Amino acid sequence: MERKLNNLQPNSIWNYFEAICQVPRPSKHEEKIIAFLEAFAAEKGLKIKKDEAGNVLISKPASAGFEDRQAVVLQSHLDMVCEKNSNVEHDFMTDPIKPYIDGEWVKAEGTTLGADCGIGIAASLAVLADTNLQHGPIECLFTVDEETGLTGAFALQPGFFDGKVLLNLDSEDEGEIFIGCAGGIDTLANFPYKKEKVPAGFFPIKLSISGLKGGHSGDDINKGRGNAIRILARFLWLAYHHYGIRLAKISGGNLRNAIPREACAIVMVQNGYKENLVADFNIFKHDIAVEYALNEPALKIDHGSTNPTEFVFDDASAINLINALFLCPNGVQSMSSRMPGMVETSTNLASVKMDVDNAVVVTTSQRSEIESGKIMVADQVMALFEIAGAKVRHSDGYPGWTPNPDSPVLKIAVDTYKKLFGNAPKVRSIHAGLECGLFLEKYPQLDMVSFGPTILGAHSPDERLNIASVKKFWEHLVLLLSNL
């Protein structure tokens, strides 16, 4: 396993990426990566400023002969999704990411790699550091907390940067240029329950779902991947109606913008039904394996004995929760009529967590390229949860980015790509959320495109960055800057 990236080309961008991997940067805890940027700017003699939210702007003058060009903003976000495999010990607040080379890819050891958006940060730093590039004035904007709330983009104030052209470096498909994105909103439900003593004659069984691919709840929502919470709820519903199980514990998923890879529950079943429940579970396990054979070959569905619990949920609360999880809409809701092949509206059942106040918190996220579609599916989820007795609220949400096929910067981006590689890039919108919609609210004059190298498995420990695509991404960025 080759762990050093310093032999990869282009050397500058890979060296910065490897350095960034050494700096912990969970969402809402970007202070260490901000200090890294401050040290970088001081070393290079570049102007740097920071706003109250923590967003950072590093500016570089135009190269000789390009002083009359327009200022260009290179934008990336500082935080990363912090996901790890359950058998991996890793503290994202203190431990570095451990990248390694696996054939054509760079991966991380048991965790997310943080190429989303670490490779965008690295590209910006490489541009700032390179004294041989040709470009007009450069402003590199680094925003905070993109992954869990877009709070940096929300807090960005007019006048923080001057450029009227913005290149967002947070896309994950080389050869594709994005000119639009979905807006999003979260719907959160709080299911209260009462604790009851475990009835006599009941046996504890732990049910678990693991090994799923997970992935980005926007970009991967149309790929037929399993949702661990939905699979678990499906069996819990059957077990409740057939055997009157009592629910003791339940958990699944982690982040609002990731498809849940794992879920588990502890249930209590009457001793006389234990063998029947296990037999039904094995049948269920087989059925699910067949259903997901192509898309989820590593899926694991397990049961086993566990330590008895002292309490279970009251029966009414348990079935309300199970019904809601079983019925909750999940996945693609509609496809786009404006951009064929693109998801228009979706929803993701993201996480289920027990809190200390005798309640279960269920987090879901909805996305759509149409504002009314986003609100409709969010309200549908709210209505279902309210019927099940939960206290429900929506997050503030964020706007989408409406495509502009006549964008001048898009034309230059397409032409330079053709010149470099002999074929035209795909121009499309993305179902994932980008910060561009929020930028337009503060800077309505902006002309924007988004592009980047190929990243697969973002938001999961399977995240991997294609090595060859980084070279093409860098070459395109360099030529584009010289033509703007």
196 an active-site residue?
A: no
The one catalytic residue in 83, 116, 146, 174 is: 146
Beta-bridged to residue 202, according to DSSP, are 270
Beta-bridged to residue 312, according to DSSP, are 196
Token pair of 186, please? Answer: 């979260």
In 314-456, which ranges are E strands?
A: 331-335, 343-354, 359-368, 391-394, 426-430, 447-450, 455-456
Beta-bridged to residue 165, according to DSSP, are 72, 447
463 CB burial (10 A radius; 0-12, 13-18, 19+): buried
Q: Tell me which residue has tokens 């009251």.
A: 314
Q: How far apart are CA 307 and CA 249, in angstroms?
A: 12
52 an active-site residue?
A: no
164 CB burial (10 A radius; 0-12, 13-18, 19+): middle
The one catalytic residue in 30, 79, 172, 463 is: 79
- Distance (Å) of CA 137 to CA 58, 63, 128, 134, 140: 11, 8, 10, 10, 10
Q: How far apart are CA 23 and CA 123, in angstroms?
A: 16
Cα angle 463-467-469, degrees, rounded to a multiple of 5: 100
Phi and psi (nearest 5°) for 121? -60, -45
Where in the sequence numbering do the catalytic residues fall?
79, 146
